[in-house]
Chains A and B, each alone.
Chain A
Amino acid sequence: MASVTLENVSRMYGAVTAVDNVNLKIKSGEFVTLLGPSGCGKTTTLRMVAGLEKNTGGRIAIGDNVVSDSEKGYFVPSERRRLGMVFQSYAIWPHMTVFDNVAYPLRIRRRPDKEINDRVMNALRLVEMEQYAERPSPALSGGQQQRVAIARALVFEPEVLLLDEPLSNLDARLRTQMGDDFRALQQRLKITALYVTHDQAEAMALSDRVVVMHGGKILQVGAPEEIYRRPENRQVAAFFGTPNLLNATVKDCRPNGGQYYKLSVEGQGWSGDCHAATEMPKGADVTVMVRPENLHVRDAGQVNGDLSWAGEVSQAIFRGSHRSIMVKTPAQTLHVEASSLSHVDIGRPVTVAAPVEAAWAVRN
């Protein structure tokens, strides 16, 4: 397994910049996910690594070898990059059996029949599809096709595995299960994987690191928890779920001993402490992010040191796993995710509270 390096990689379509100056290093054995809204350039980035698209700027290396360098006009075609890829449509060739599909990368490389047989069966076993080897491939369900596509991508031990929204055609339950299975497989085989998705939950659950993209640019790269809890800007913060974003002004800023800073902030009708990545001058305008699942609804007036807002319940929606409660405060309406067992009456005055660790400030 090899690393993948993208240096200042860009891709223009006429005047449209689909990918804009992307820098990324994927370590060997690492699982990196490209995440972003539709049209942000994820697929284009992946296809440039695959060699299906030429980068118009920058260079790409797989392992220690440059595979594409736009300045030097150097380009290694797809088939010589030793990659495995799972397409969104799976691209299972309908005129071949499951076995033939998986054997294809080996047959192309003219391996002996014995070896082909062993490795194909191994790969199929890995995805638990060995009993389907002789099936004609159109006679497979979506989930089975997806497994075959993974087996085919893994069969000749590629340098890097590329996956473009491989789970998006599956139903919700299967998606989670296949995702977990695939993550386990990736961990076991130590595969370098570059994975594209627009599903945040999937990205969190699978990846070592997540790359958040927007408009062809990388907004932030980091471990899932890092990105979720400590986004670098409002855009990244807003991308995951429906966080509460409150405007505030910095009153005080001091290092908290670790790598972060502790801020005292004041908003409309509330004040309190929160964390931030960088030092902020006094009086700076910031956005404080508090996630709905970290907020608690308490009886009015009950305050114990944390951030708190006074308001009244304006809406409560039962969602099965939890209850969405809207609380109208002087600052803005806050979205709280409460236990589905909790019961609140609409119109009741309450206090909404959050621990300091749950509040994160980014500069406007």
Chain B
Amino acid sequence: MTIIHNRPLDDIAETAPTIAGNAFTRAFSGGSLWRLIGMLVLILILGFLTIYPLAMLLYGSLHSTPPGMAGEFNLNGYRSIMTTQNLIVLANTIGISLAKTIPSLTIAVFLAWIVARTDTPFRGTLEVLITLPFFIPPILTAMAWGMLANPQVGVINMVWRWATGATDPLVNIYSYGGVIWHMCQYSIPFLFLFMVDAFRAMDPSLEESSRMCGASRWTTFRKITLLLMLPVLTSSFMLSFIKGIETFESALFFGLPAGIKVITTDIYESINHRATPDYQYATSLSFAIMGLMFLLVIWQWWMLRGKSFQTVTGKGFRPSVMELGPWRWVTFAFCVLFFFITVVLPIGQLMLGSFFRFFGFYTYDMLTLEHYRAVFANSEFWRAVRNTMVLGLLGATATMALGAIVAYISVRTRWRGRNLVDSMAWLPWMMPGMVLGVGFLWAFAMLPGPIPIYGTIWALLLAYIALGTPVSVRVMTGAYHQLSYDLEECSRVHGASWFQTMWRIMVALAWPAFAVGWVLTFFGIMRELSASILLYSVGSETLAVVLMKLWANGNAEQVSVIGLMMMLLVIVFRWVQLSFIKSRISKL
């Protein structure tokens, strides 16, 4: 028998094929040199944004003096954080985070179930309303609640006293409860957003068959729905817990006045509230908290290993919803109540505060517009508006561009170094804003003289980009996963170069996700306080920083005015996002 596949080649090559192109094009065929240069530049940028501040943090924690001053290397920093007092701080941090995660998760699950799985009326609108608090900077709600639930002059307590004749306040926001209460307001919509798609994607027949077996709604919810959701619940829990440890605003506003310290506020205090800033203490503590975060991330990874994440199929698949009967008005009321407490009350308080001469004295003759006039005449305010806008626009664009590139390389190429790039971009995930702020403080101070970043708006920009990159990478990764490789390869085969393919196919197809991520990052920047407060200087204040300064001066009235403006901005942006982007893609 002849063996065809080893037939001699003479009938194959009639004319000897030639190799086209000269030596140069041959050496660089496939663009490997450009790819190498590109990867190096990317690694340098990411290195500067993540590794460098981290290294400086380590340096700072081991060095006795701030950068540029003669000093020595020692372990005094680490020795000084090993105190019983700090054990309490640690216990506070973990305890508060746990205490807010559990109720937040419970309520978020309930809300997600209501919106995704029941016939509650106006679910679509409710969903938009419920998620709104996620987009409101926590500093605004903190200030509003500081006024609402102030034990002496808070509206809630004044109404309570007036209604019952009691002399003791009903609520005191300056307490453990207050800190947790405030954290929940942000956590619940965050967790809701994280989970609601998983609830939506669940096959309803799994629930229905439980009902057919004689289980009540409640039993079905507990035994079927919840258990099916276990992987996403676990990851939500871990995420919320980690975020809780990073939180700064709640503990700053409501914890510090009551003497409740957590790690982030402790770092902040050791730099800003001491006669001489104790940098070595702050950096050591920062490093310690990063160690804690690292352990948590490892734990998270360990808990979730093997468990599949939510896979949102949802292609024209409209799961049937559970009919609640008259109970649907109860669930409706619950959602409205949530919206009322987390959005209407704070906005109402800010309005109240902005129109009266003095905060806490709400009588007719105290009505005034003078705070609006004062704010609008304040050049610092306008500068902050400009700074925030510039930082938001530039920061969101740069962060998303970086995220888009990193995600592309790690998801869609097999280039060497892609894992390195990916993990470098993930590093800030383990760094609370406060810690990254301290790291950058050092990093900028250690830069050689001719690069004056410290004290400029660029310092903030770089920190924001670093902080936002993990989220932007995640958003873009999701987007790329949904685009089939064929779309890209087809373009290459039909003559488009790598860059042309990027531009005409990938960018064109991924931009909706890019836009969603952009808005998220923009909100993130508007919200950012912990890194800003360390890195700003005169001239580069953001709105959040200006608010902080006014608040510290006891100017609650002007705070209300600015807060109201920011609220307005948030609502306008969210509205634009929903009406222009949501129509084209699934929401985030």
Contact = CB atoms under 8 A, between A and B. Distances in A.
B493 A78 contact: yes
A217 B2 CA distance: 15
Interface stretch (B17-25, B375-383, B386-394, B561-569): B17-25
From DSSP, what is the main secondary structure of chain A's interface residues? mixed
Given A5-B12, A93-B509, A232-B1, A74 B17 contact: no
A132 interface: no
B12 A23 contact: yes
A85 interface: yes
A79 B497 contact: yes
Contact of B509 (A64, A65, A94, A277): A94
Interface in A347-363: 362-363
A21 B31 CA distance: 28
Given A5-B17, A94-B509, A221-B4, A109 B30 contact: no
A83 B493 contact: yes
User: What band does the interface of chain B fall in when counting residues whose beta carbon is under 8 Å from A?
Assistant: 35 or more
A7 interface: yes
B299 to A, nearest CB: 33
B492 A91 contact: no
A11 interface: no
A221 B493 CA distance: 27
Interface stretch (B121-129, B361-369, B467-475, B481-489): B481-489
Given A66-B20, A74-B29, A156-B495, A91 B4 contact: no
Which among A23, A24, A51, A84 has the greatest number of chain B C-beta atoms within 10 A?
A: A23
Nearest to A158: B494
A314 to B, nearest CB: 34
Contacts of A12: none
Contacts of B549: none
Contacts of B311: none
B7 A85 contact: no
B325 to A, nearest CB: 40
Given A77-B29, A79-B493, A93 B17 contact: no
Interface in A88-119: 88-91, 93-95, 104-105, 108-109
B479 interface: no
A64 B12 contact: no
Nearest to A152: B494
B519 to A, nearest CB: 20
Interface in B483-524: 484, 486-487, 489-498, 500, 504-505, 508-509
A105 B4 CA distance: 37
Contacts of B509: 93-95
A220 B1 CA distance: 12
Contact of A21 (B5, B12, B15): B5
Nearest to A217: B5
A39 B504 CA distance: 32
A91 B486 contact: yes
A288 interface: no
B507 to A, nearest CB: 10
B5 A22 contact: yes
Interface in A36-87: 50-52, 59, 61, 64-66, 69, 72, 74-85, 87
B489 A75 contact: no
A176 interface: no
Contact of B30 (A7, A77, A94, A162): A77
Contacts of B29: 74-77
Contact of B494 (A23, A24, A108, A232): A108
Contacts of B222: none
B9 interface: yes
Contacts of B1: 232-233, 277-278, 362-363
Contacts of A74: 19, 26, 29
B583 to A, nearest CB: 15
Contact of A84 (B2, B494, B505): B494
Contacts, number: 131
A275 to B, nearest CB: 14
B12 A69 contact: no
A278 to B, nearest CB: 6
A6 to B, nearest CB: 8
B212 interface: no
A153 interface: yes
A218 interface: yes
User: What band does the interface of chain A fall in when counting residues whose beta carbon is under 8 Å from B?
Assistant: 35 or more
A88 B496 CA distance: 20
A66 B16 CA distance: 9
B13 interface: yes
A44 to B, nearest CB: 13
Interface in A118-151: none
A190 interface: no
B493 A25 contact: no
A162 B15 CA distance: 23
Nearest to B26: A74
A48 B488 CA distance: 16
Contacts of B498: 77
A52 B492 contact: yes
A91 B12 contact: no
A282 B45 CA distance: 77
A217 B7 CA distance: 13
Given A21-B5, A65-B17, A66-B20, A105 B494 contact: yes
A213 to B, nearest CB: 10
B491 A104 contact: yes
Contacts of B491: 93, 104, 108
B20 A65 contact: yes
Contacts of A90: 486
A80 B7 CA distance: 30
Interface in B416-459: none
A69 B19 contact: yes
A87 B486 contact: yes
B72 interface: no
Contacts of A89: 484, 486
Which among A72, A78, A82, A220 has the greatest number of chain B C-beta atoms within 10 A?
A: A78
Which among B500, B504, B508 has the greatest number of chain A C-beta atoms within 10 A?
A: B504
B5 A218 contact: yes
Contacts of A82: 495
B168 interface: no
Contacts of A105: 494-495
A221 B5 CA distance: 9
A238 B6 CA distance: 22
A50 B493 contact: yes
A7 B493 contact: no
Interface string B226-266: 00000000000000000000000000000000000000000
Given A69-B19, A78-B489, A91-B489, A153 B2 contact: no
A104 B15 contact: no
B489 A87 contact: yes
Nearest to A96: B508
Interface in B28-44: 29-31
Contact of A87 (B21, B490, B496): B490
Contact of B487 (A93, A156, A277): A93
Contacts of A87: 486, 489-490
A153 B493 CA distance: 9
25 contacts: A7-B13, A25-B11, A52-B492, A64-B18, A74-B19, A75-B29, A75-B30, A77-B497, A78-B492, A78-B493, A79-B495, A79-B496, A81-B493, A84-B493, A85-B489, A85-B494, A91-B486, A104-B491, A108-B494, A108-B504, A162-B493, A217-B5, A219-B5, A220-B4, A277-B2
Given A61-B17, A74-B26, 10 more contacts: A23-B7, A25-B13, A65-B17, A66-B17, A72-B19, A74-B19, A108-B491, A219-B5, A221-B4, A362-B1
Closest 10 CB pairs of A and B: A61-B17, A91-B486, A91-B490, A105-B494, A78-B492, A85-B493, A25-B12, A218-B5, A87-B486, A108-B496
Interface of A: 5, 7, 21-25, 50-52, 59, 61, 64-66, 69, 72, 74-85, 87-91, 93-95, 104-105, 108-109, 152-153, 156, 162, 217-221, 232-233, 277-278, 362-363
